[in-house]
Amino acid sequence: MKQEISRVDPPAKQGPVEAEERILIRGGKKLKGTVRVSGAKNSVLKIMAAALLVKGVSVLKNVPNLTDVHMMAEVLRHLGAVVTISEGEVEIDATNVQDFEAPYELVSQLRASFNVLGPLLARFHQAKVSLPGGCAIGERRIDLHEKGLKQLGAEMHIDHGYVYASCKKLVGTRIYLEKPSNGATENIMLAAVLAEGTTIIENAAQEPEITNLADFVNAVGGKISGAGTYTITIDGVKPEDLHGATVETIPDRCEAGTFIYACMATGGEITIEGANPHHLYSVINKAQEMGAEISILAPGTIKVKADGKMKPIDITTVPYPGFPTDLQAPIMSVVACSEGTSIITETIYENRFMQVAELRRMGADIALTGNAAVVKGVPKLMGAEVKASDLRAAAALIVAGLAADGVTEITGLHHLDRGYEKLEDKFRALGADIWRR
Ligand code: EPU
């Protein structure tokens, strides 16, 4: 019987928020103090999906209270898992999962739920998962997921908006990914956990979230090596080899990067705790190039000092370990009020400059040519009413608002609440004049 227990309520602002809800920022305060980074959204969501492989109880620690986490819990419950969310922790008992269909009304709200495809196919040899549908930042195809799973032996077709996958069995093979897609690496890796023989993924995504996912799989009895590198090897195991386990979610590198860039935009001195500097080399490198002083005080603790007068830079977003697309918008807010002209080139998504029109409302001087943004720094951004179009655009507008003269009002907050835990509270604790109403 399905049970639905949640000991922690979703963030109050789950789902589309009331039109009048907004974050207000009176900009110009230098950030000062200490802030703690939450667990990584993009790790938690994938590990939750992977828990479907296991007849047993999987426990995830260091889990942020985000609407996306609650949404993924709904997807798993729909499939028959018992999911309990409590303070900083998610417990998933997938023992009695019998359903293998993830419907449109759930998947369309959370793209990461497409990641149930691989585990369902592995465990039940069939899956029916809705195509996620439109997205504000780009096309976000699934062809690489499809090609990889087919190479493992799945038959797949798309019908009336659903991906149907089935197989008699999955058999390990060598798969070369044309692009190091995170989602495709994850779906193929998870399907291969219960395949016969060995699967090798070449040109795999190398993101820390992939490593965290592989660590989970290994903790529950799977055999994955090489995660975090170009080549991932998965030795198939039997379903009965898998068992429950407890794992810790890695720190959210996007959140840590957002704090670094906010401090650079306002000037100030902050200490970021609970981060993993090893996941942030490209992010820190750009900050230093712009003139910020960054020091690693202790494992997990990053100190940022900036005088608010940053130098221009050129940035190109590339897969990890290169500069992350997810911090392209937040750093654009910094260069928008830095000295000189910066060029930001976006190579991951076709449409990830949605923040530009809003930053222009705040006085930014940005010209778009193809996939590049030419940003001429202005002495001061000005507070304005702006609307977030996606999660990272929301973060960018907050960074801009913190640095701007006057009051910035940001709407579209349901995007923010998907991926940042209590961001305005954390900035308020750093001395920012920021509140939600
Ligand atoms: N792509 C294909 N074919 C595929 C799969 C991907 O062409 O079959 C393309 C995509 O269209 C995109 C690129 O490859 O242009 C990268 O896509 P990837 O599969 O790596 O992205 P994802 O798994 O859908 C995750 C994060 C994103 C993050 C990207 C890139 C989650 C839930 N999402 O998406 O995070 O931007 O990797 O690092 O993990 C966010 O957190 O704001 C966010 C959008």
142 Cα: distance to centroid of ligand 1 (angstroms) = 10
Residues 180 and 271 in one domain: no
The atom number, within ligand 1, closest to the CA of 179 reads: 14
For atom 24 of ligand 1, the residue with the nearest CA is: 183
Q: 182-192 and 117-124 are packed helices; what angle lies between their axes, rounded to 10 degrees?
A: 10
**Domain end position, chosen among 228, 248, 268:** 248
Q: Is the CB of 325 under 6 A from ligand 1?
A: yes
- pLDDT for residue 132: 79
Containing structural domain, residue 397: 23-38+251-436
**CATH number for position 234:** 3.65.10.10
Shared-domain flag, residues 261 and 354: yes
Q: How far is the CA of 140 from the centre of ligand 1 (A)?
A: 7
The answer, yes or no, to whether residue 17 has pLDDT greater than 80, is: no
**Does the N-terminal peptide bond of residue 119 adopt cis geometry, omega within 30 degrees of 0?**
no
Mean pLDDT, residues 330-334 taken together:
98
The verdict on the CB of residue 179 being under 6 Å from ligand 1 is: yes
- How far apart, in Å, are the Cα atoms of 218 and each of 71, 87, 114, 324? 25, 25, 22, 27
The residue whose CA is least distant from atom 16 of ligand 1 is: 181
- Do residues 190 and 122 lie in contact, with contact meaning Cβ atoms separated by under 8 Å? yes
Q: Summarize pLDDT for 269-292 with one digit per residue, the tens.
A: 999 999 999 999 999 999 999 999
Residues 384 and 264 in one domain: yes
Q: Helix axis angle, 253-266 relative to 328-336, nearest 10°?
A: 0
- Does residue 259 register a pLDDT over 90? yes
pLDDT band for position 11 (cuts 50, 70, 90): low
Nearest CA-CA partner of 433 in 410, 396, 407, 415: 407
* Domain end residue (candidates: 248, 275, 291): 248
How far is Cα 303 from Cα 297, in angstroms, rounded to an integer?
Answer: 7
- Does any ligand 1 atom lie closer than 6 A to the CB of residue 350? no
Which of 190, 215, 248 is the C-terminal boundary of a domain?
A: 248
Instruction: Using the atom order of ligand 1, give the atom closest to the CA of residue 185.
Output: 19
Give the chain's domain count. Answer: 2
Q: In terms of domains, do 139 and 189 share one?
A: yes
Specify if 49 maps to a domain.
yes
Q: Which residues are catalytic?
A: 135
Record the tokens describing residue 339, joined without a space. Answer: 């000295």
Task: Say whether both 372 and 396 belong to one domain.
Answer: yes
Gyration radius of the chain's alpha carbons? 21
Instruction: State which ligand 1 atom lies nearest to the alpha carbon of 45.
Output: 32
> Has residue 6 been placed in a domain?
no
Least confident interval from 11-25, 186-200, 327-341? 11-25
Q: What is the dihedral of CA 207, 15, 160, 156, to 10 degrees?
A: 20
**Residue among 69, 147, 179 to mutate when testing ligand 1 (max atoms within 8 A of CB):** 179
- Does any ligand 1 atom lie closer than 6 A to the CB of residue 142? yes
160 assigned to some structural domain: yes
Q: How many other CB atoms sit within 10 Å of the CB of residue 416?
A: 27
pLDDT for 141: 86
CA of 289 to the centre of ligand 1 (A): 27
Does 318 score more than 70 pLDDT? Answer: yes
Going across the sheet that includes 89-93, the strands are: 82-86, 89-93, 57-61, 245-248
157 and 281 both lie in a single domain = no
Q: For residues 426 and 259, what is the distance between their CA atoms, to the nearest angstrom?
A: 9
Could you tell me if residue 5 is inside a domain?
A: no
pLDDT at residue number 7? 62
pLDDT on residue 3: 41
Which pTM does this prediction carry?
0.95
Q: What is the pLDDT of residue 350?
A: 87
Q: Is residue 131 part of a domain?
A: yes
CA-CA distances (angstroms) from residue 408 to 42, 248, 329, 401, 430? 29, 37, 17, 5, 18
C-alpha angle 396/398/402, rounded to 5°?
120
Residues 216 and 295 in one domain: no
Residues 267, 413, single domain; the answer is yes
In angstroms, what is the span from residue 22 Cα to ligand 1's centroid?
A: 28
Q: Determine which helix (DSSP H) or strand (DSSP E) holds 304, and give its type and residue range.
A: strand 301-306
Is residue 56 over pLDDT 50? Answer: yes
What distance in angstroms lies between residue 181's CA and the mean position of ligand 1's atoms? 6
Using 50, 70 and 90 to split pLDDT, how confident is the model at 224? Answer: very high
Region of poorest pLDDT, from 82-91, 116-125, 132-141, 154-163 = 132-141
Q: Are 47 and 69 in contact (CB under 8 A)?
A: no
pLDDT at residue 111, rounded to an integer: 86
Same domain, 29 and 125: no
Please indicate whether residue 303, judged by its CB atom, sits closer than 6 Å to ligand 1.
no
Mean pLDDT for 124-132 is 92
Residue from 41, 42, 176, 210 to probe ligand 1 pocket by mutation (most atoms less than 8 Å from CB): 42
Enumerate residues 6+ apart whose C-beta is below 8 A from 316.
322, 323, 344, 345, 347
Six token digits for residue 393: 């655009």
Q: Is 187 in the pocket of ligand 1 (CB under 6 A)?
A: no
DSSP 388-412: --SHHHHHHHHHHHHHSBSEEEEE-
Percent of the chain with pLDDT over 70: 95
Please tell me the distance between residue 211's alpha carbon and the centre of ligand 1 in angstroms: 16
DSSP, res 11:
P
Mean confidence (pLDDT) of the chain: 94
From first CA to last CA, the distance across the chain in angstroms is 40
pLDDT tier at 432 (50, 70, 90 boundaries)?
very high
Query: What angle in degrees, to the nearest 10, is found between the helix axes of 117-124 and 143-151?
Result: 20
Q: By percentage, how much of the chain surpasses pLDDT 90? A: 88
Tokens 């500069």 correspond to what residue?
Answer: 323
Asked, for residue 269, whether it belongs to a domain, the answer is yes
* Residues 213 and 92 both lie in one domain: yes
Atom of ligand 1 nearest to the CA of 139: 11
| Gap between the Cα atoms of 396 and 377, Å rounded | 15
Give which of 286, 270, 253, 278 is closest to 392, Cα–Cα: 253
286 and 409 within one domain:
yes
Confidence of residue 133 (pLDDT cuts 50, 70, 90): low
- Spatial separation of the C-alpha atoms in residues 300 and 297, rounded to whole Å: 8
122 CA to centre of ligand 1 in angstroms: 22
How far apart are alpha carbons 348 and 137 in whole angstroms? 10
Cα 418 to chain centroid, rounded: 9
244 — pLDDT class (breaks 50, 70, 90): very high
Judge if 52 and 158 occupy the same domain: yes
Ligand 1 proximity of 391 Cβ (cutoff 6 Å): yes
With H, G, I as helix, E, B as strand and everything else as coil, classify residue 344: strand
Please state the rounded mean pLDDT for residues 209-228.
98
Residue 207 lies in a domain: yes
Check if 145 has its Cβ closer than 6 Å to any atom of ligand 1. Answer: yes
Whether pLDDT at 2 is above 60: no
For ligand 1, atom 29, the nearest C-alpha belongs to 182
Rounded to an integer, what distance in angstroms lies between the CA atom of residue 63 and that of residue 278? 20
What is the reported pLDDT for 103? 87
Residue 164 lies in a domain: yes
